[in-house]
A and B are shown apart, each in its own frame.
Chain A
Amino acid sequence: MQVNNRENVYASICPGCGLACGLYLRETVSETGEALVSVDFRKSAQVNAGKLCSFGLKLPLYYAEPQTSMVKGQKSELEAAISASIEALKTAPVKSLAFFSVGNATNEEQKAFSVLAGAFDKDVETGMGVYSSLPVSMHAALNRNMSLEEVEKAKQVFLFVDPYSQYPLLLRRVLRAKENGAKIVCIGPRHLPVADEQFCLKPGEYGKFLFPSQDSVLVADIHPYSDPEHIKAVLELAEVSGSKTLILKPFANSAGAGLLTANTKQCTLEKLLEGIDSGKIKTLFCLESDFLELTPDREAAVRALSKLDSLIVQTSSRGELSRLADIVIASEPFYRKQGTVLNAEGRLLSIGGDSTLSFDALSSLAAAFGKQLDFESARKEVFEDFGLKKAGEFAFRAPAEPCSGPVETEAPCSKYEPGQKSCSIFLSESLQEYSSASISASLVYSLSPFMWHGLEDENDFVELNLRMIRRLGLVKGGTVKIRSQGKIVDIKFRVSSIEDGYLLSSQRLPITGFPGVEVKFSVR
């Protein structure tokens, strides 16, 4: 029997997080044109040497449902969706327009999107409101990065992220650093096996308990929920100690989007949602960015989005946002795109495809408003913007611009008042305020690629430490009831080695607004 399926192999990258791991995607196209995608290991990839996390291995699910263009809930041709978008943008009051792209698009698409937004004198929002909450002088430090290989050579690594769940392909670099004799200091509520020292600290305490040196690397991340105080404290610590920073980002091209929107004022997701809810934003254009998956309170987001006059979504994946959209401009799957992303190391990577469908759609839209941009020009501009000369996988790094001036800090970390209690002490005291059947804790999300991309994982549980479980009298196999802001969720739990007074979750819980809230527990 002869097999007639056509197989296309793409040497591509994973869209799961800002590390942008290399992989092969095998697309088997049947005689009927149906494409089945499978993932294969690309051991020559410099970022990850072929290693993948569970998100990478589950990419076939991410690519399972290709998008189709829609206008007002009806399937349409791509051209019709573009025309409808032009009409929607033309009729909308300019003041009420917003353009949103978090970094799931290529640099070239991001460039075209900026050109389109620029036609209305608007900037593209990336959801990284943290930039606007920090002094401008710190922005360069957020975009200045280092290679993962350099982490291995550090004498001390200070981890403000959890590499096991958030950026799994960072883990091997940290383990190698440890093997090379580095001390690994972990900051966060989860006790990590790799840690030589573990702290659970407030940003104001970093200077008091952490002592990095010039040979140290501080690894932190910025994302749409980032606490500006935390980022500021990390950067100050780096500034004072002379240590290097590796600032990770949650989307494959977060770094590229960040650089391409540098020097523009950025809203937080919360502010953006408020703008929509209040009617200030009436037309929202989302490029490869699922607003619903990003906002923690999905119900509130759905309510707010229903107030829009027009929701235009340009995306390659189906999701609830597409169903809510007035217009869907279907783009090709990520692996088929021609173009580049800038990963969190500052390495420019080619996605590996040959399609410019999505770019062309944006280009047509921009042209309708008097702005011309072809793919080659966009590509050239991207290289110029990043200070790079040629395309390729291994050679490039982000420009390492020094801070333009003194950091506009409040007090340096070392000047924090002594005697401040760490979170764990504070929370263990607060625990005593409650009866054994009802205690409070801080909810901390483990922001994994699954959460950012709305892909289902098997993490349908929350994590507590044994002491809290005993206090609550929870039994194995049971559930725990969590309350916050008048909402309740009943969910499975797992015993984990984490700080007292914390509740960890790898999935969004339908009880909270933006993270950092206090929740209460009780036995079912």
Chain B
Amino acid sequence: MSELKVAADIKVGDKLLGWAASEDVRSRGASGGLVTAVLAAALETGLVDRVLVLKKVSEFEAYPVFTSDVQEVLESAGSMHSVPVNLARYLKPETCSGKTALPAKPCDARAVVERVKRNVMSSEDTYVIGLNCGGTMHPEKVRKMLETIYRLDPEEIAGEEIVKGKLVFFTKDGKEHAVPIDDLEAEDLGRRDSCRYCQVKIPTNADLACGNWGVPGDLAEKVTFVEVMTEKGVELLRNTVSAGFAEVMQPDGKSISAREKVNKVMLGMSEKRKTEVFAPIENGKERFEYFRKELENCIHCGACKAVCPVCTCGEDSKCTAYFSLADSHKMSLFHMVRFLHLSDSCIGCGQCEDVCPAEIPLTRLYQRFAVPVQKEYRYLPGMSDRTPPFFALKLEDNEDKEGGGCTCR
């Protein structure tokens, strides 16, 4: 085992193993509680004014809160794969006064980046602690799989974890119950649809990219792998270590390559799924009919817009301004405008699909529209501060592009 690293030696590009110094935090948090320690230290030392975390109600229920209370941060510890909330949506001008830190799955971190581009919040004042993510689950499906596959009473669940491709539930009697995620997904259970084709598993766009991938077997559940991505990440981790909230050390090369390998495998699975889900519809009429048919049950509640973390238009938005319930178009202008508007910003987080009362596969529709555009301009939203192509594009930039017309197949 290598020596502990001192705070002053932490720098951008570091790949480390870390854990909370406090036994209490280690027991509450996942993988040694490093993320909880980073958040608690940031608050305790005044590096940030507030932290945005999920306040736990039960294993399947939590809601986002801003807090300055370290105790509340400690209580929020632990992975919550069954609470698929995108925290970035809560970062708004009225909530973003002062410095804020938040834990972030890749889609949270991507949404933060897109919101910064749209001047909703300041990048300097936001500290993003990324968490690697193989996917989250909708609580409704979790309940269903507990009842039908695991044969467990949801009320008896004390915790859950994803370990080596299996979803493990811990019951209050201390037992573990594991089922391969592949088996769950074969029954249309398991991860949310959008997670299954998500293209970012390690949030290298965050200030720190943390998680259990790459942790050696003997340290599993005891430490977190952390990648220092930015100067703010350095600031966060140095602050945590120097305040005595956590310890870090250098991993060996095997751990680093194991992390890369897990990421590659996960991305490969996503790519395969993406190819299946987004098989091109070459015929224009068929493509239109596909979109029309999928949207025919829309009740125009606006939930997809309300929940969208990259939509920053507020009440005064184009999708609603050019839409009226009195219209009788085959496909509403609300959706048409949103397809266009999100084509260079949709991060595929799946929130719209989660809340749609008509269960329209909206993320698939937005992604089907957006991915070809994003591919054409080699632009993956939320991964860098690059200006979105529609804002950056000059006419001559498109001269070398093949043909014209819509590429959204």
Q: Is the CB of A54 within 8 A of B65?
A: no
Q: Is the CB of B297 within 8 A of A51?
A: no
Q: Is the CB of B297 within 8 A of A171?
A: yes
Q: Which residues of A contact B98 (CB under 8 A)?
A: 1-3
Contact flags A465-498 to B (C-beta < 8 A → 1, else 0): 0000000000000000000000000001111100
Q: Is the CB of B357 within 8 A of A193?
A: no
Q: Is the CB of A54 within 8 A of B326?
A: no
CB-CB under 8 A for A53 and B296, given A2-B49, A44-B60, A175-B359: no
Interface positions of B from 300 to 321, Cβ below 8 Å from A: 300-303, 306-307
Q: Which residues of A contact B55 (CB under 8 A)?
A: 9
Kindly provide the distance from the CB of A325 to the nearest chain B CB, expressed in whole angstroms. 33
- State the interface size on chain B (CB cutoff 8 A): 41
Q: Is the CB of B328 within 8 A of A496?
A: yes
Which residue of chain A has the shortest Cβ distance to B143 in the bound complex?
Answer: A46
Q: Is the CB of B299 within 8 A of A49?
A: no
Tell yes or no: A164 within 8 A of B by CB.
yes
Tell yes or no: B407 within 8 A of A by CB.
no
Interface positions of B from 128 to 167, Cβ below 8 Å from A: 138-140, 143
Kindly provide the distance from the CB of A147 to the nearest chain B CB, expressed in whole angstroms. 13
Q: Is the CB of A48 within 8 A of B357?
A: yes
Q: Which residues of B contact A495 (CB under 8 A)?
A: 328
- In Å, the complex CA distance between A496 and B95 comes to 43
- In Å, the complex CA distance between A494 and B61 comes to 42
CB-CB under 8 A for A459 and B325, given A43-B354, A52-B303, A175-B358: yes
- In Å, the complex CA distance between A7 and B95 comes to 11
Tell yes or no: B355 within 8 A of A by CB.
yes
Q: Which residues of B contact A57 (CB under 8 A)?
A: 301-303, 306
Contact flags A4-41 to B (C-beta < 8 A → 1, else 0): 00010101000000000000100000000000000011
Q: Is the CB of B58 within 8 A of A194?
A: no
Q: Is the CB of B307 within 8 A of A41?
A: yes
Tell yes or no: A151 within 8 A of B by CB.
no
Q: Is the CB of B357 within 8 A of A172?
A: yes
Kindly provide the distance from the CB of A435 to the nearest chain B CB, expressed in whole angstroms. 25
- In Å, the complex CA distance between A169 and B357 comes to 6
Kindly provide the distance from the CB of B50 to the nearest chain A CB, expressed in whole angstroms. 8
B326: contacting residue among A40, A176, A492, CB under 8 A: A492
Kindly provide the distance from the CB of B41 to the nearest chain A CB, expressed in whole angstroms. 20
Interface positions of A from 131 to 146, Cβ below 8 Å from B: none
Contact flags A384-412 to B (C-beta < 8 A → 1, else 0): 00000000000000000000000000000
CB-CB under 8 A for A2 and B97, given A175-B359, A458-B324: yes
Q: Which residues of B contact A165 (CB under 8 A)?
A: 299
Q: Is the CB of B302 within 8 A of A176?
A: no
Q: Is the CB of A9 within 8 A of B97?
A: no
CB-CB under 8 A for A494 and B60, given A52-B303, A164-B299, A172-B359: no
- In Å, the complex CA distance between A494 and B296 comes to 17
Tell yes or no: B83 within 8 A of A by CB.
yes
Q: Is the CB of A9 within 8 A of B357?
A: no
Tell yes or no: A228 within 8 A of B by CB.
no
Contact flags B343-360 to A (C-beta < 8 A → 1, else 0): 000000000001111110
Q: Is the CB of B303 within 8 A of A41?
A: yes
Contact flags A70-95 to B (C-beta < 8 A → 1, else 0): 00000000000000000000000000
Q: Is the CB of A43 within 8 A of B303?
A: no
Tell yes or no: A461 within 8 A of B by CB.
yes
Tell yes or no: A515 within 8 A of B by CB.
no
CB-CB under 8 A for A51 and B327, given A9-B65, A41-B303, A42-B61: no
CB-CB under 8 A for A54 and B300, given A2-B97, A49-B140, A175-B359: yes
Q: Which residues of A contact B58 (CB under 8 A)?
A: 44
Which residue of chain B has the shortest Cβ distance to A5 in the bound complex?
Answer: B94
CB-CB under 8 A for A44 and B139, given A3-B98, A54-B302, A165-B299: yes
Tell yes or no: B84 within 8 A of A by CB.
yes
- In Å, the complex CA distance between A171 and B297 comes to 9
Q: Which residues of A contact B327 (CB under 8 A)?
A: 494
Interface positions of B from 194 to 211, Cβ below 8 Å from A: none
Q: Is the CB of A52 within 8 A of B138?
A: no
Contact flags B49-90 to A (C-beta < 8 A → 1, else 0): 110000101101101011000000000000000111100000
Given contacts A57-B303, A168-B301, 6 further A-B contacts (CB under 8 A): A9-B63, A43-B354, A44-B60, A54-B300, A172-B357, A494-B327
20 contacts between A and B (CB under 8 A): A2-B49, A41-B355, A43-B85, A43-B139, A43-B355, A44-B58, A44-B60, A44-B61, A46-B140, A49-B138, A51-B357, A52-B301, A53-B301, A54-B299, A56-B301, A57-B302, A168-B301, A169-B357, A171-B299, A176-B359
Chain A interface residues (CB < 8 Å from chain B): 1-3, 7, 9, 11, 24, 40-44, 46, 48-54, 56-57, 164-165, 168-169, 171-172, 175-176, 193-194, 458-461, 492-496
